[in-house]
Structure formats: structure tokens, C-alpha cells
Amino acid sequence: MSEKLRLLAEESYAGELRALAAHEGGHRPPGWKLSPRQVVTYLMGGVADDGTPITPKYVGSRALIETAVATLATDRALLLLGMPGTAKSWVSEHLAAAITGDSTLVIQCTAGTDENQIRYGWNYAKLLADGPSREALVPTPLMRAMEAGKICRLEELTRMGSDVQDTLITVLSEKMLPIPELNTAIHARRGFNIIATANNRDKGVNDLSSALKRRFNVVVLPLPERVDEEIAIIVKRVGEMTATLDLPAPPNVAEEVARVVSIFRELRGGATEDGKVALKTPSGGLSTAEGIAVLVGGISQATFFNDGKLTPATLAASIIGAVVKDPVQDRVVLGEYLETVLKKKPGFEDYYAALTEMI
């Protein structure tokens, strides 16, 4: 087992990427390690030409992933949009790993991100000693991606100020990064592109200017439509994550995932599964990713404090933590849900008891 807490996509799936790359597999755009078809196989799962099984990374619509991959083969950048926890960052990491073998060129955009973190910065000691020179320049992940012909990932693009976002316009339209201090410019190598993610639920975001928007193709990643899809995603990811954490998997994981998903979907959708009772929705997203976090937390608690037995009681605190993001309103929403729905829901008696005891 690796000493690293988390392996990069290109490290975890090095074998799969090697097996896919070993065969032609169709036309490869300049600078790409795999053909677009192979990239889609890597993300959606399948079999490599030499028979190596490829595990699915993204569970959902193949057409969406095809659009994303096709976009990256053009001169337009890709913007993955969606609710929190819809696998935007996950897909972005795996796309970068499959296309260029390097998912590490990432910029996390925040309200405090300035132009120096997007374009380039300066090593001030060198700058003062010797004046502006290439050695005194500190390249950003974006600049390194341009020079190496790789993919730069911009996480949560709309969180940084609009003026900073607009520094990307030259990069995306001219494929060039001017460095006026050195009277030169970095020209992007073939293979360079940008994958940005943005959250369509955040408050206080800075919408993209229309000039910048025009340079992105938007792919919206949805929450899983079907309940069985959502259960499958959570069971798979929980299995992978507990294995990395060296936590033994309790035998009833799938059963508890199904019950937690059922509760989450009712609360998120604002109605009971049969559609008969309308419900208030909590302020948080209750996404698939929250479901994964609840189960992993519960399994850890079960392992260390409950003889490995995963029960509604070991999951209750994490469920409440996921639902109650606003301590006043969400507590009321959950309380009402418990009394009007969960109390009478067949097969959920133990969840009702555990949650009412703890809320």
C-alpha cells in the first residue's frame, strides 16, 4: 500500500492508462496520450484492446463525457457546471490524467485569487537583485500547462473576481500569455487546454463575462436521475475509499447506502418517493458526495467504536451533519420530515429512532 494518503488519478490507474495507450485506438489529437475514444473508455469503463478491464470512473451519461472530450480536442475550453458533489472535480482530474498523463496542474480559484496566481508571479529576491529575468519569474500551473502542452484545471472558476477571470481571455483566444516585463510571450504548445469547474448553487459568485463565456463549452453534470444509479455510485466509491483507508467493509454497506439514499433523495427532491407528501428541502445540497461522506464516516465509527457493526446509530450523527447546514431552519426541516414521513416509513424504524434521539 502506498504511503501517500491520496494517489493521483494517473497513479491509481497507471495500469489502465498504459493498457489503453499501448494500442492506436483511433486518431490522437496533437499532444494527447490517448485517442478521444480511449479517453471516454477510461472514464466510462470498458475493455482495452489487449483485454485489460477498465473500471468506470464516472457513472452517468456517456454522451456528456463524449461532449466534454470532443470539446477538449478543439480550441475551446471546457466548463463543467453543476451542483456541489456531482463529480465535477473528479471528472476534471480523470480527463486531465487520461489526456495528458498529468492532473496536477490545478489552480483553486477563490475570492482572493489575483492575476499573479493565474499568469505568473515574481521571486522578489531575484527580481530586486538582478531585475526582471526568466529566472526571477515564478510560473503558475496555467503557464506550465501552456509551455508543456498540458491541461490546466481551474477549480471553482466563478469564485474569483470577474477582472481576474478575464485574464484568461487572451490565453484562450490567442493561446498566448504576454510577459510585458520581459518583452516576450509564452505560446501554448499543442495539447494545451483548460478545464474549469463551477458550482451553480453558490451564493456570491462572479458570473463569467460574456466574452469569457463564449470561449468555454459548458457541460452540466446532473445529480443521478435514478435511485439505483446513485446507490451504485456510492457503494463503489465507499468501497474504494474504505479500502484506501484500510477500513474493513461491513457486510450491510449496500443495504445502509440504499436507506440513506432514500432519505436524502426525499429531502433533496422535496417530496416522498411516492410523490404523495410535499416536504421542505434543507439548505444544503445532499448530493451523492454527501452520501459517500456519511457512509465513510459511519464505517470509520463502526470500525473503531462499534465492533465493526454499521448501524443507523453509527450513521445518525453524520446524517444530521449532512442535512443540518443551517442550525435553525434545517433542524426544523429534518424534524418535520422525521415526524411526518420517516416515522411511518416501513423498514426505517431504526433510522427514525436513531435520528430522533440525536437531533
Ligand X SMILES: Nc1ncnc2c1ncn2[C@@H]1O[C@H](COP(=O)(O)OP(=O)(O)O)[C@@H](O)[C@H]1O
Binding site for Mg ion (CB under 5 A): 89
Cβ-based neighbour number of residue 199 at 10 Å: 20
Using the minimum distance from each CB to Mg ion, give the nearer residue, 24 or 240: 240
CA 300 – CA 330 distance, rounded (Å): 26
Instruction: Could you list the beta-strand ranges (E) of 114-233.
Output: 120-122, 137-139, 151-155, 176-179, 184-187, 193-199, 216-220
Q: Which positions from 281 through 300 interact with ligand X, judged by CB under 6 A?
A: 288-289, 292
CB neighbours of 245 closer than 8 A, spacing ≥ 6?
296, 300
Convert residues 215-234 into a mask of x (bound to ligand X by CB under 6 A) and - (unbound): ---------x--------x-
Using the minimum distance from each CB to ligand X, give the nearer residue, 33 or 88: 88
Of these partners, Mg ion, ligand X, none, which one is at the site of residue 289 (CB under 5 to 8 Å by kind)?
ligand X
Per rule CB under 6 A, is residue 68 in the interface with ligand X? no
Using the minimum distance from each CB to ligand X, give the nearer residue, 85 or 312: 85
Per rule CB under 6 A, is residue 13 in the interface with ligand X? no
* Min separation Cβ 153 and ligand X, Å: 11
Q: Which of 87, 164, 310, 316 binds ligand X (CB under 6 A)?
A: 87
Secondary element (H or E) of residue 172: helix 167-174
How would you label 113-148 residue by residue, b for 16+ Cβ within 10 Å and e otherwise?
beeebbbbbeeeeebeeeeeeeebbebbbbbbbbeb
Using the minimum distance from each CB to ligand X, give the nearer residue, 88 or 119: 88
Residue 258 phi, psi (nearest 5): -60, -40
Per rule CB under 6 A, is residue 60 in the interface with ligand X? yes
* Min separation Cβ 309 and ligand X, Å: 25
Per rule CB under 6 A, is residue 59 in the interface with ligand X? yes
Per rule CB under 6 A, is residue 94 in the interface with ligand X? no
CA–CA–CA angle 44, 49, 50 (5° rounding): 120
Q: Which of 89, 158, 272, 301 binds ligand X (CB under 6 A)?
A: 89
Using the minimum distance from each CB to ligand X, give the nearer residue, 91 or 171: 91
Q: Which of 31, 46, 84, 132 binds ligand X (CB under 6 A)?
A: 84
Per rule CB under 6 A, is residue 86 in the interface with ligand X? yes
Using the minimum distance from each CB to ligand X, give the nearer residue, 224 or 312: 224
CA 299 – CA 287 distance, rounded (Å): 19
CA distances from 137 to 109, 120, 128, 179 (A): 21, 7, 12, 10
Of these partners, ligand X, Mg ion, none, which one is at the site of residue 237 (CB under 5 to 8 Å by kind)?
ligand X
CA 42 – CA 40 distance, rounded (Å): 5
Q: Is 6 exposed, middle or buried (0-12, 13-18, 19+ CB in 10 A)?
A: exposed
Per rule CB under 6 A, is residue 237 in the interface with ligand X? yes
Which residues of this chain interact with ligand X, rule CB under 6 A?
A: 58-60, 82, 84-90, 197, 224, 233, 237, 288-289, 292
